[in-house]
């Protein structure tokens, strides 16, 4: 039985919420912990498409802190949307940006990556909708991915005329073969669920969100008889090279992001992409 709400993080207005004080619908991230298993289901809740702006990233980052501080037994990451897991980074954070906010935005994304990719507790993404770019990154940080049928997933940055940072690439390389990762990253491939399964970008296919959560739970159950400490040390050792590489280059990575995104050519590309998205949604 799910009991709500371990911690309701930042509200849509960007104000830190307190325990149990307002309805889950107001929260950017909803955390529910199962009494029996101790697993936390973390639901991204920024309609319409869970695009990752500074406030949503901050809420995710705080949630991951809470789970770690509470010695979580496992986390399932999913979305409250019926058709989108996450549309990736909020393009409005990059289009005509204010540099200070942009730096905070990127630094918070780095924090989320460190905390999720390197989490001591086991993590699964129950991908119940489309998952392009930054949405795909969040799922790649998890140890296991279960995806519902008939959606798309991938790091499609090159299709937007931008370059996925090396730590995005490392996360993809950790899940699939180097060859498939190179093809996917250079082409900016958005895979269908079945294609993603074939290349190992996702581990299982689900027929519904409920089925995805059940399969995610079954994955977490596999660790019941494994020492949590041995498990987390093994995971962190395997991922430490990627983590140290970004730790050593955090500031340069932020500077490179600001430099790249503020280039007039990139701004023009983002403008055109936004226009195309708006035109599509207006149809």
Ligand X SMILES: CCCCCCCCCCC/C=C/C(=O)SCCNC(=O)CCNC(=O)[C@H](O)C(C)(C)COP(=O)(O)OP(=O)(O)OC[C@H]1O[C@@H](n2cnc3c(N)ncnc32)[C@H](O)[C@@H]1OP(=O)(O)O
Whether residue 89 lies in the annotated active site? yes
Binding-site member from 2, 14, 22, 48 for ligand X (CB under 6 A): 48
Q: Specify the residue, 24 or 256, whose C-beta has the smaller distance to ligand X.
A: 256
91 lies in the binding site for ligand X (CB under 6 A): yes
Q: Catalytic: 129?
A: no
| 39 versus 105: smaller Cβ distance to ligand X | 105
Return the number of the residue (197 or 260) whose C-beta is nearest ligand X: 260
Distance CA 176, CA 197 (A): 10
Point out the catalytic residue in the list 89, 138, 160, 201: 89
147, 206 in Cβ contact below 8 A? yes
**By Cβ distance, which residue is nearest to ligand X?**
88
What distance in Å separates the CA atoms of residue 182 and residue 187, rounded to the nearest whole number?
A: 8
Alpha-carbon distance of 116 to 118, in angstroms, equals 5
Residue range at the interface with ligand X (CB under 6 A); choices 25-33, 88-96, 111-119, 214-222: 88-96
Written in H, E and C, the secondary structure of 25-58 is HHECEEEEEECCCCCEEEEECCCCCCCECHHHHH
Among 17, 74, 132, 154, binds ligand X (CB under 6 A): 132
The yes or no reply on residue 133 touching ligand X (CB under 6 A) is: yes
User: Residues 17, 74, 88, 154: which binds ligand X (CB under 6 A)?
Assistant: 88
Is 256 a binding residue for ligand X by CB under 6 A? The answer is yes
Burial of 236 (0-12, 13-18, 19+ CB in 10 A): middle
Q: Does 87 interact with ligand X (rule: CB under 6 A)?
A: yes
Residue 143 annotated in active site: no
The verdict on 58 binding ligand X (CB under 6 A) reads no
Q: State residue 37 phi and psi, 5-degree precision.
A: -90, -25
Q: Does 130 bind ligand X (CB under 6 A)?
A: yes
Question: Could you say which residues in the range 137-176 bind ligand X, by CB under 6 A?
Answer: 156-157, 162-165
* Chosen residue from 55, 62, 90, 203 binding ligand X by CB under 6 A: 90
Interacting residue ranges for ligand X, rule: CB under 6 A: 48-49, 51, 83-84, 87-92, 130, 132-134, 156-157, 162-165, 256-257, 260-261, 277-278, 280-281
Active site residues: 89, 134, 156-157
């Amino acid at each position: 039985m799910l009991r709500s709400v371990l911690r309701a993080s930042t509200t849509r207005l960007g104000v830190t919420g307190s325990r149990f004080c307002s309805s889950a619908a107001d929260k950017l991230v909803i955390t529910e912990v199962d009494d029996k298993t101790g697993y936390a289901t973390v639901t991204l809740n920024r309609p319409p498409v869970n695009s990752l702006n500074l406030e949503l990233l901050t809420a995710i980052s705080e949630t991951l802190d809470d789970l770690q501080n509470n010695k979580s037994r496992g986390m399932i990451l999913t979305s409250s949307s019926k058709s989108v897991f996450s549309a990736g980074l909020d393009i409005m954070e990059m289009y005509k940006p204010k540099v200070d906010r942009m730096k905070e935005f990127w630094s918070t994304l780095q924090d989320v990556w460190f905390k999720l990719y390197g989490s001591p507790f086991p993590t699964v993404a129950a991908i119940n909708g489309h998952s392009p770019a930054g949405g795909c990154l969040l799922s790649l940080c998890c140890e296991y991915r279960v995806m519902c049928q008939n959606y798309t997933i991938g790091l499609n940055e090159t299709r937007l005329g931008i370059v996925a940072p090396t730590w995005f690439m490392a996360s993809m390389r950790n899940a699939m073969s180097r060859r498939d990762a190179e093809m996917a990253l250079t082409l900016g491939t958005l895979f269908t669920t079945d294609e993603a399964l074939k290349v190992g970008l996702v581990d299982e296919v689900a027929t519904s969100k409920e089925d995805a959560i059940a399969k995610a739970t079954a994955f977490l159950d596999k660790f019941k008889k494994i020492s949590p400490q041995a498990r987390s040390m093994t995971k962190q050792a395997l991922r430490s090279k990627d983590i140290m590489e970004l730790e050593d280059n955090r500031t340069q990575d932020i500077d490179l992001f600001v430099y790249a995104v503020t280039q007039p050519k990139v701004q023009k590309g983002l403008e055109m992409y936004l226009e195309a998205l708006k035109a599509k949604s207006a149809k």
